[in-house]
Amino acid sequence: MRLWQQVGVVVALSLAVFGAAQAQVAGGSAAAASAAAQALPVSKPYVIAQTYTLQSQVLNEQRELNIMLPEGYHEHPEMRYPVVYLLDGGQHEDFTHMAGAVQYASFSWVQRLPPVILVGIANTDRKRDMTFKASPKFIWPKWMHAYTEAYKNAGGSDAFIRYIETEVQPYVQQHFRTGPDKMLVGQSLAALLATEILLKKPALFNQYVMMSPSLWWDNQSLLKQAPQLLHNLPSSPLKVYLAVGNEGPEMVSDARALAALIRKHKQRNTQFVFEYLPKEDHGTILHPATLNAFAHFFPRPPEK
């Protein structure tokens, strides 16, 4: 037998032996995995919320609300609870991790938030619902040029606000034991919408948490209308929290400008807090700012 033939036979035998060994290992692993699976105890779902489907007459589409009830809700039928309405409240948006923040903040040893009902308003077309109709003269910021196609349906916030006012809030109030306090939480485009509601329909909520609002939309037209619109603020108690991180000169300057206008035009009973969080950016600001807002809105009682 020639040398190359001998080498080929040796290699073939080696591969055959290796393959058999691998098959034996794989078979053993599969058997072990199967045994482990059979040994698992019976499990049950870990449920933190329920999803409710609404057929919106305003938006002419099905919408979802994710609702988390506070601990002890069913054990205390005499209790009524504040409601936190979370924009971008879908299961794969901000609801799940914000549910954890709300739970943590309401722990008795943390006391940043009373027990609340958390309502996540899930999106179907975020850029449509969170933006008002832009002027034909709208000039896109340079850093947004790559995303303009995603905004082809923009301009539907009027209808979305009506949906919140005439369908979401009545649904929650009808089916759950709600108290008088209603908080709206939003970040980025959702904070643009929260700002629009604050300026145009402030009585829809009595607590607003707005983080990194996208005031660049439509050449800052909402910011330019703010001095006049702020006269709509009610004389009744109102809490407003505004925050921005280290997110570029335009985002920061717009937020600072809005803060200055709110301070100038707010009513006597409006409690307003603005924070610049330089260690946070657009992706990290949500949790620290929300917890800060809770702390400002609900200060801890003095220690006895």
Span 117-159, pLDDT tens digits: 999 999 999 999 999 999 998 988 887 877 888 899 999 999 9
Position 7 scores a pLDDT of 36
Range of the domain at 10: 1-43
Position 24 scores a pLDDT of 55
**Residue 12 and residue 149 in one domain:** no
Partners of residue 276 on adjacent β-strands: 244
- Please check whether residue 104 is in contact with residue 193, taking contact to mean a CB–CB distance below 8 angstroms: no
Rounded to two decimals, the pTM is 0.86
**Residue 176 and residue 197 in one domain:** yes
Residue positions counted in the chain:
304
Position 17 scores a pLDDT of 40
Q: Is the pLDDT of residue 98 over 70?
A: yes
Report the C-alpha gap between 5 and 40 in whole angstroms.
Answer: 52
Report the C-alpha gap between 83 and 227 in whole angstroms.
Answer: 29
**Residue 156 and residue 246 in one domain:** yes
- Please check whether residue 104 is in contact with residue 110, taking contact to mean a CB–CB distance below 8 angstroms: yes
**Residue 95 and residue 174 in one domain:** yes
131 domain residue, yes or no: yes
Strand 50-56, strand 61-68: pairing = antiparallel
Position 36 scores a pLDDT of 58
- DSSP string spanning 224-292? HHHHHHGGG--SS-EEEEEEEES--HHHHHHHHHHHHHHHHH--TTEEEEEEEETT--TTTSHHHHHHH
Position 143 scores a pLDDT of 77
- HSE (CB half, 13 Å, CA atoms) of 218? 17
Number of domains in the chain: 2
**Residue 120 and residue 266 in one domain:** yes
Instruction: Tell me the average pLDDT across 47-61.
Output: 96
